[in-house]
């Protein structure tokens, strides 16, 4: 008998600490103590005052249920007021701001916790709120507008993660209260007469102005390939090499890539990755089209000229929403100081956009990775090959990274990329396992270079640590850590805190969450990585599909992978997962075609052997460990001979040959619940003279689940009788568990 419904309508307040990773990285104990005080002195009293109930907390977040939208909004406004008052007397580095999202919707009780779409929408609205701000759904505003004197500022329909329909959102603030200061575009203060093209600057640089444009190159929001982020968003067009000599193009590219890296450290700025920006390197494209295709408001472009021992860089920042120049400057100096000038550009852009920088961000930007021009050029040559994400170019990148660290042994970023270039062949294990030059295994070389990378504080170091924790079973000798998704999440969080616009850091966090059995949360980070790198490499789709596979959305997982394989036919690591997803949704013909495409003619192993021995890149842990077997079963199902059906396998069960029976039983197990018609034959085989047949029959009945309930008596009778008896016990437990879940 099914339980009565525990659904109800509720007003939900979701709150999260802005910049939590940065705060804990700076002072973990102090941040935790401050949050405890905020809960006991602010959140709990105001929740009680407005008739609410705290349903869940997670250290840096609160989920609160109220009887009405009016109560929820009054509580939200009171909480933000109380926190603002506390922050006035707090030090600049101790300020704690909450983002709050409000929604009215359907919820389901799970003990004291609440779940459901109403909660999910509240959480997504919270992510849209500014630090210290409140974002509410249209439903909340409809209920509360007549009862609460507040300003409700429409944000328009918002597409949020995992919610199929756009959500109409509103910013809410006290009536008459000025909104939080948004990033503004500024123009140079000096008005220059025609022909007077330069202005002395404090550091000896001069202001460079582009010719006035009678028809500004203005981007059109309706043509944006992606919705504009809530934060000020920027993409850097690779600087033009104005030297006229091919050899200097690498220096200009390195300057551009370092500028992207510096900007991506700014937490208040959304920065498109270098991988996507450099995809436009050889294209003649306007700043407006560049902005539209990458979905950003601001574009940095310019040129770099090298003359003997000196250089000149002309850089400008354009607000493409208006086509107006925000900031522009010309930098001149000796080439050995070029990277110091580059750091200044990032700071000037932050200042032009009114973006405050904390000490950690400023230190990261001001830090020069290397002062050796030749080392930087060698690194750039390696990075451009590495960023193509294929086997041949990855191997070709290694000597350039080796040259970079040879020229500058303290070049931490080069050590990290050198380690990564050797880790890739292990993770994407279809690549060759040995370096051509030395014959050493890539994983051995990786460990060697990882020790060097660990000596330098770079964000990529934490990404590598997360990947190692998720992929390698034994790495205690490198960091003294242990394998686990929790530790991987901590490392990914550190990387995101140090470089908030790094897509690889977000992908690592997504990977960790998916592996730990939190696919929806992991998918949000994967999508964030894809947004930061719109021209992302193929393996991003692999993790998007992994989350969908874990949510049993096999059809969409297959669509995602099929599209990526069509775009990049060399992405063979996606094909086994695509074949498994296709098979799990019953598309056996398409699954067989995909597995044959993957196997191809370049494998010495037969298809059954290749499938049997295949080790997936994706691995789940803990309570989600069963997904590993599901993924493997899907691939094996895809590899069955064409024309294999449940009916054809049932016919083989009656044959006298035990080997044939066993193979047929194993194949039926791959069909899961669809093999239900074979339950009578499988039940009979529990009494087979062959222990192997009895064992496989028990396994398959367990895979079938609820429909195998008629076999429970036979399974119980077999329990305790050798290996087959153990499998019978497990199968009976699985069937009974499935029956219990169906009754809920």
Question: Is 191 inside any structural domain?
Answer: no
C-alpha dihedral (401, 404, 410, 411), degrees to nearest 10:
-60
Q: What percent of the chain has pLDDT over 70?
A: 87
* Span 95-113, pLDDT tens digits: 888 999 999 988 888 777 7
Per-residue confidence (pLDDT) for residue 187, from 0 to 100: 31
Q: Give the SS3 label for residue 57.
A: strand
Residue 243 has pLDDT above 80, yes or no: no
What is the C-alpha separation between 121 and 168, in angstroms, rounded? Answer: 11
Residue 443 has pLDDT above 60, yes or no: yes
Q: Give the SS3 label for residue 469.
A: helix
Quote the domain boundaries for residue 668: 648-743
Exposure class string for 654-667: b at 16+ Cβ within 10 A, else e: eeeeeeebbebbbb
Question: Is 594 inside any structural domain?
Answer: yes
Does residue 438 sit in the same domain as residue 345?
Answer: no
Of residues 624 and 519, more confidence is placed in 519
Over range 499-506, report the average pLDDT. 93
Question: Is 187 inside any structural domain?
Answer: no
| pLDDT confidence tier of residue 481, bands split at 50, 70 and 90 | very low
C-alpha dihedral (381, 383, 384, 385), degrees to nearest 10:
90
Residue 216 has pLDDT above 80, yes or no: no
Question: Is 462 inside any structural domain?
Answer: no
Does residue 605 sit in the same domain as residue 663?
Answer: no
Residue 438 has pLDDT above 90, yes or no: no
Which of these ranges, 366-380, 422-436, 458-472, has the smallest mean pLDDT?
422-436
Among 329, 347, 368, which residue terminates a domain?
368
* Span 679-707, pLDDT tens digits: 999 999 999 999 999 999 999 999 999 99
Does residue 243 sit in the same domain as residue 362?
Answer: yes
C-alpha dihedral (718, 723, 724, 729), degrees to nearest 10:
60
Question: Is 719 inside any structural domain?
Answer: yes
Does residue 407 sit in the same domain as residue 317?
Answer: no
State the sign of the Cα–Cα–Cα–Cα dihedral 444, 448, 451, 454. Answer: negative
Does residue 30 sit in the same domain as residue 164?
Answer: yes
Does residue 419 sit in the same domain as residue 556?
Answer: no
Per-residue confidence (pLDDT) for residue 603, from 0 to 100: 61
Q: What is the CATH number of the domain that holds 637?
A: 1.25.40
Per-residue confidence (pLDDT) for residue 92, from 0 to 100: 60
Question: Is 300 inside any structural domain?
Answer: yes
Among 456, 486, 514, which residue terminates a domain?
456
* Span 540-578, pLDDT tens digits: 999 999 999 999 999 999 999 999 999 888 888 899 999
* Span 170-205, pLDDT tens digits: 889 887 544 333 333 333 322 222 222 222 232 333
Per-residue confidence (pLDDT) for residue 215, from 0 to 100: 35
Give, for 192, the enclosing helix (H) or strand (E): none
Does residue 298 sit in the same domain as residue 313?
Answer: yes
Average pLDDT, the chain: 83
Does residue 267 sit in the same domain as residue 153?
Answer: no
Per-residue confidence (pLDDT) for residue 683, from 0 to 100: 93
Residue 230 has pLDDT above 90, yes or no: no
Residue 432 has pLDDT above 80, yes or no: no
Pairing label, strands 98-110, 134-137: parallel
Total number of domains constituting the chain: 5
* Span 40-93, pLDDT tens digits: 889 999 999 999 999 877 667 889 999 899 999 999 999 999 998 888 776 666
* Span 568-614, pLDDT tens digits: 888 888 999 999 999 999 899 999 999 999 888 556 567 877 887 78
Per-residue confidence (pLDDT) for residue 292, from 0 to 100: 93
Does residue 259 sit in the same domain as residue 340?
Answer: yes
Per-residue confidence (pLDDT) for residue 592, from 0 to 100: 92
Does residue 343 sit in the same domain as residue 399?
Answer: no
Residue 622 has pLDDT above 90, yes or no: no
| pLDDT confidence tier of residue 437, bands split at 50, 70 and 90 | low
Does residue 69 sit in the same domain as residue 127?
Answer: yes
Per-residue confidence (pLDDT) for residue 440, from 0 to 100: 61
What is the C-alpha separation between 80 and 99, in angstroms, rounded? Answer: 9
Residue 506 has pLDDT above 90, yes or no: yes
Question: Is 548 inside any structural domain?
Answer: yes
State the sign of the Cα–Cα–Cα–Cα dihedral 270, 372, 327, 346. Answer: positive
Q: What is the CATH number of the domain that holds 284?
A: 3.40.50.10610
Q: What percent of the chain has pLDDT over 90?
A: 37
Question: Is 491 inside any structural domain?
Answer: no
Q: Using CB atoms within 10 Å of the CB of residue 196, give its burial: 0 to 12 exposed, 13 to 18 middle, 19+ buried.
A: exposed
Q: What is the CATH number of the domain that holds 51?
A: 3.30.70.1230
State the sign of the Cα–Cα–Cα–Cα dihedral 722, 727, 731, 737. Answer: positive
Q: 679: which residues sit within 8 A by CB, 6+ positions away?
A: 701, 704, 707, 708, 710, 711
What residue has token string 């080069």? 414
Per-residue confidence (pLDDT) for residue 25, from 0 to 100: 66
What is the C-alpha separation between 195 and 502, in angstroms, rounded? Answer: 42
C-beta contacts of 354-362 below 8 A and 24+ residues apart: 354/181, 354/183, 354/184, 354/186, 355/183, 355/232, 355/266, 355/268, 355/269, 356/268, 357/266, 358/22, 358/93, 358/267, 359/93, 360/22, 360/25, 360/26, 360/498, 361/265, 361/266, 361/267
Does residue 433 sit in the same domain as residue 420?
Answer: yes
Pairing label, strands 298-307, 240-241: parallel
């Amino acid at each position: 008998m099914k339980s009565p419904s525990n659904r109800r309508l509720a007003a939900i307040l979701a709150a999260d600490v802005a910049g939590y990773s940065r705060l804990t990285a700076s002072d973990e104990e102090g941040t935790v103590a401050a949050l405890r005080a905020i809960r006991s002195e602010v959140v709990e009293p105001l929740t009680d005052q407005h008739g609410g109930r705290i349903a869940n907390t997670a250290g840096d977040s609160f989920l609160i249920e109220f009887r009405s939208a009016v109560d929820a909004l009054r509580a939200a406004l009171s909480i933000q007021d109380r926190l603002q008052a506390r922050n006035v007397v707090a030090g600049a580095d101790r300020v704690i701001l909450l983002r709050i999202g409000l929604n009215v919707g359907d919820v389901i009780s799970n003990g004291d916790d609440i779940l459901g779409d109403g909660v999910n929408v509240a959480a997504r609205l919270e992510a849209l709120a500014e630090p210290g701000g409140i974002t509410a759904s249209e439903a909340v505003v409809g209920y509360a507008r007549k009862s609460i004197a507040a300003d409700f500022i429409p944000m328009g329909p918002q597409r949020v993660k995992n919610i199929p329909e756009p959500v109409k959102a509103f910013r809410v603030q006290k009536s008459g209260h000025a909104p939080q200061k948004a990033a503004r575009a500024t123009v140079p203060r000096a008005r220059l007469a025609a022909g007077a093209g330069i202005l002395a600057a404090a550091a000896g640089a001069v202001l460079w102005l582009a010719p006035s444009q009678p028809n500004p190159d203005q981007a059109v929001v309706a043509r944006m390939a992606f919705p504009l982020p809530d934060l000020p968003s920027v993409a850097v067009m690779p600087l033009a090499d104005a030297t006229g000599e091919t050899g200097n193009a690498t220096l200009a590219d390195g300057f551009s890539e370092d500028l992207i890296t510096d900007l991506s450290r700014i937490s208040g700025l959304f920065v498109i990755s270098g991988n996507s920006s450099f995809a436009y390197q050889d294209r003649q494209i306007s700043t407006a089209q560049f902005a539209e295709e990458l979905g950003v408001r601001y574009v940095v472009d310019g040129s770099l000229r090298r003359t003997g021992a000196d250089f000149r860089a002309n850089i400008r920042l354009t607000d493409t929403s208006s086509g107006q120049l925000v900031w522009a400057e010309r930098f001149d100096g000796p080439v050995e100081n070029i990277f110091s000038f580059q750091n200044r550009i990032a700071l000037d852009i932050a200042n032009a956009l009114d973006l405050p920088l904390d000490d950690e961000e400023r230190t990261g930007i001001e830090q020069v990775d290397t002062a050796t021009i030749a080392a930087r050029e060698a690194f750039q040559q390696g990075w451009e090959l590495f960023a193509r994400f294929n086997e041949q170019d990855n191997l070709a990148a290694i000597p350039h990274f080796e040259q970079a660290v040879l020229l500058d042994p303290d070049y931490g970023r080069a050590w990290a990329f050198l380690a990564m270039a050797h880790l890739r062949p292990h993770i994407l294990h279809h690549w060759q396992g040995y370096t051509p030059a030395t014959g050493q295994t890539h994983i051995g070389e990786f460990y060697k270079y990882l020790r060097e990378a660990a000596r330098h504080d770079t964000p990529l170091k934490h990404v590598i640590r997360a990947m190692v924790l998720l992929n390698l079973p034994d790495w205690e000798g490198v960091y003294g850590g242990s394998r686990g998704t929790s530790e991987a999440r901590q490392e990914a969080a550190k990387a995101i805190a140090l470089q908030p616009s790094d897509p690889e850091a977000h992908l690592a966090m997504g990977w960790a969450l998916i592996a730990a059995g939190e696919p929806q949360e992991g998918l949000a980070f994967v999508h964030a990585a894809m947004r930061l790198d719109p021209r992302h490499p193929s393996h991003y789709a692999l993790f998007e599909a992994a989350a969908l596979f874990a949510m049993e959305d096999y059809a969409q997982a297959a669509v995602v992978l099929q599209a990526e394989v069509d775009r990049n036919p060399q992405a063979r690591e996606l094909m086994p997962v695509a074949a498994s997803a296709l098979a799990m949704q019953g598309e056996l013909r398409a699954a067989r075609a995909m597995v044959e495409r993957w196997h191809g003619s370049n494998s010495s192993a037969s298809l059954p052997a290749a499938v049997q021995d295949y080790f997936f890149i994706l691995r789940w842990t803990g309570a989600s460990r069963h997904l590993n077997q599901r993924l493997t079963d899907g691939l094996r199902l895809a590899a069955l001979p064409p024309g294999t059906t449940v009916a054809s396998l049932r016919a083989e069960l009656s044959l006298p040959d035990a080997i044939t029976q066993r193979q047929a039983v194993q194949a039926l197990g791959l069909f899961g619940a669809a093999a239900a018609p074979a339950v009578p034959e499988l039940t009979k085989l529990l009494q087979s003279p062959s222990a192997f047949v009895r064992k496989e029959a028990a396994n398959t009945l367990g895979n079938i689940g609820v429909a195998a309930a008629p076999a429970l008596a036979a399974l119980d009778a077999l329990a305790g009788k050798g290996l087959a008896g153990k499998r019978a016990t497990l199968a009976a437990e699985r069937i009974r568990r499935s029956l219990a879940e169906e009754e809920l």
